[in-house]
Amino acid sequence: MINKHIKIFLAGHRGMVGSAIYRALVSKGYTNILTKPRNELDLKDQSSVKRFFSEHQPEVVIDAAARVGGILANNEYPYQFLMENLLIQNNLIDFAHQFECKKFIFLGSSCIYPKLAPQPLNEDCLLTSELEPTNQWYAIAKIAGVKACEAIRKQYGKDFVSLMPTNLYGSHDNFDLKTSHVLPAMIRKFHEAKLEGHTEVVLWGSGSPKREFLHVDDLAEAVIFSLEHVLKDNLYNVGSGKDLSIFELALLIQRIVGHKGKISWDSSKPDGTPRKLMDVSKMKDEGWQSKIDLEDGISKTYQWFLENLDEIKEVKIV
């Protein structure tokens, strides 16, 4: 059993993923969780991160910090999505190595896999063909992080592991229509259309691509599992193992929100990858699998959205 007083640095604790991990750590009885808001520690600044590690000497690092966004944000700000993520993760990985951290958990994304990789996406398909063009910048940064952790694991025998979650959703998500992912964007669109008298909702693409979704609280449980166990390999997919079409997702969210108007599809907008279903057998073999049903998860997310309308997070590009 892991010592519940072990010093854990949770980077990115205020984001959707980081806040879910923080809640999970507290609920499991962990008492020594280090966090730093962005205005006190700029993870892009090498000297600041080194100073933090030197002063606090964390034993475990969980990297939930990243510049994230949907198709539009990735497409319009490729340099920021590439460079900022490289800077953040390189500083964390390198100083965790230099200061002899016992464990490093790196969080990435299913977008690291090729656009047309065989389904379901297996960890072995990494770097076998071309990436999805619209989010390749973010994907390349995350691939670099995966390979850095793998290199440290190979060269120094350290317990650095990478978890690649599928499409995430849940409380503290980003609901800004310019930068959000598909599920929270749909929640906001259907909600606002309902308030406007059930007006028509126009959605991007054809609705035909299939996507898998994982509630962020499930991912947090996977992180805790990885913290408390020594995993045999360096790279693991984390997902539900189930997908549905964007069209089916829209109908589900429309019903949960209570919107009764028309749905139209703007086929001039990109669909992205045709399908992204994760092969989650490696994590299942280790002893972990997701628990939260998609409909229940979306209902909880919509309830959180309603309770936090005045404080809904909007990502600002600078």
pLDDT at residue number 113 = 94
Q: Which two tokens stand for residue 167?
A: 């499409």
* CA 141/CA 215 separation, integer angstroms: 24
List the chain domain ranges: 8-310
Query: Measured between alpha carbons, how far is 33 from 61 in angstroms, rounded to an integer?
Result: 10
pTM of the model: 0.92
Active-site annotation holds for 77:
no
In one-letter notation, the amino acid at residue 21 is: I
Residue 249 near residue 211 (C-beta atoms within 8 A): yes
Query: Which tens digit of pLDDT belongs to each residue from 228-252?
Result: 999 999 999 999 999 999 999 999 9
Q: Residue positions in the annotated binding site for NADP(+)?
A: 12-18, 107-110, 142, 165-168, 181
314 alpha carbon, distance to own chain's centre: 16
- Return the closest-CA partner of residue 273 out of 157, 160, 109: 109
Give the pLDDT confidence score for residue 68 in this predicted structure. 81
Query: What pLDDT is recorded for position 318?
Result: 30
Q: Tokens for 232?
A: 């045999």
User: Which listed residue (77, 113, 138, 302) is catalytic?
Assistant: 138
Angle between helices 78-98 and 46-56 (to 10 degrees): 30
| Residue listed under structure tokens 């108007």 | 261
Q: Is omega for the bond preceding 274 within 30 degrees of 0, making it cis?
A: no
User: Which residues of the chain fall below pLDDT 50?
Assistant: 314-318
Tell me if 313 sits within 8 A of 176, measured CB to CB.
yes
Annotated binding site for substrate: 189, 204, 211, 271
List, in sequence order, the alpha helices (H) in the chain.
16-27, 46-56, 71-76, 78-98, 136-156, 182-195, 216-228, 246-257, 281-286, 294-307
pLDDT tens, residue by residue, 49-101: 999 999 999 999 999 999 987 777 788 899 999 999 999 999 999 999 999 99
Per CATH, the number for 8-310 is: 3.40.50.720
**pLDDT at residue number 272:** 75
